Amino acid sequence: MAPRLSTRISIRWNNEPPSEPTITTVMSVGSHFVDLRVNKADQTIDWAFAGRREIVSQDPLQCRWYHVIDSRNVFEPDEGSFTKLPNGDDLETGSMPCSERNNEITPYEEVWRALPVEGAGPHWILQSDHEDSTAFVGCVGGVFIAMQQRRQGGSFAVVKEEFVGVEGQPPRWERRYVSGEFHAQLPSLACRESSTFVGEKVPGTGSSWKMGDEVEMGQRLYKVVAIE
């Protein structure tokens, strides 16, 4: 599957009316994903997780997601089936824990909409495993998300940035969301003079990171687990 950015339009539990209490951004590259859901009401994290995606079947499309890090500490794989709606959106159906029902497994319907993937890439997801924490960093088009979870206590930190145009100035990365007491440990493009990381793109050569490469960002080494 091609690199994808998507946002959730609505969620419906059982036969309740659909609603959308979050601003949700999901990026998928190869077999990996990063998923950030922020509550509209108070800008807290509703759910943030990242890991590996498996295609269970193609027709109908059914996916299984393995959560390597999870702000709710829910690490059981979850599955969803997809059908295309007449307007081009995707309807996902399945069952998963409902936080409003004490995490009772509940049938759901989610409507997803694809977002434009700006630029020619590369689009990538990196993973870093340390003794004290695991982190994921992803960049698809003009969206950058970094998230990290500590092993002891499960505390979480997130940074989200977007590449935006400003009238009269060159486009640049701007921070859109931050959460967690240790968010300053996460990589950032908005805090760099360059719009890319070292080695991500090599001018004049057409080369870039490759699958399995180790990339140093700050004081951590990340592995390229997906790139297209």
Q: Which of 96, 115, 134 is the last residue of a domain?
A: 115
How many domains does one find in the chain? 2
Q: Which domain holds residue 42?
A: 4-115
C-beta separation of 200 from 217 below 8 A: no
With a CB cutoff of 8 Å and minimum separation 6, the contacts of 95 are 105, 106, 107, 108
Q: What global pTM score does this model have?
A: 0.92
Whether residues 32 and 73 share a domain: the answer is yes
Q: Check: CB of residue 20 under 8 Å from CB of residue 37.
A: no
Residues 161 and 212 in one domain: yes
CATH number at residue 175: 2.40.128.310
Residues 142 and 175 in one domain: yes
* 101 and 83 within one domain: yes
Contact 105, 122 (CB under 8 A): no
**Is residue 8 domain-shared with residue 109, that is, in the same domain?**
yes
User: What is the rounded average pLDDT of the residues 96-102?
Assistant: 85
Partners of residue 175 on adjacent β-strands: 161
74 and 157 both lie in a single domain: no
Q: CA of 97: how far to CAs of 82, 105, 122, 166, in Å?
A: 19, 4, 35, 41
Pair 105, 31 in one domain: yes
Strand partners, 150: 133
pLDDT digits (tens, 9 = 90+) for 165-189: 877 788 899 999 999 999 999 999 9
**Are 135 and 39 members of one domain?**
no
CA angle (224, 190, 171) in 5-degree steps? 105
Q: What is the pLDDT of residue 198?
A: 59
Note whether 111 and 8 are same-domain residues.
yes
**Mean per-residue pLDDT, 138-150:** 97
- Is 88 in the same domain as 129? no
Q: Select from 115, 143, 159 the last residue of a domain.
A: 115
Same domain, residue pair 219 and 133:
yes
Q: Which of 85, 115, 145 is the last residue of a domain?
A: 115
Looking at every residue in the chain, the average pLDDT score rounds to 92
In the prediction, which pLDDT does 175 show?
Answer: 96
> Are 149 and 134 a contacting pair, CB within 8 Å?
yes
Query: What pLDDT was estimated at residue 203?
Result: 47
At 199, the pLDDT band (50, 70, 90 cuts) reads low
Q: 168 and 217 in one domain? A: yes
Quote the tokens at residue 94. 């399945």
The CATH number of the domain holding residue 33 is 2.40.128.320
Does residue 130 surpass a pLDDT of 50?
Answer: yes
Q: What is the pLDDT of residue 121?
A: 81
Question: Using one digit for the tens of pLDDT, what is the confidence trace for 84-94?
Answer: 999 999 999 99
Amino acid identity of residue 41, one-letter, is: A
Give the mean model confidence (pLDDT) for residues 45-58.
97
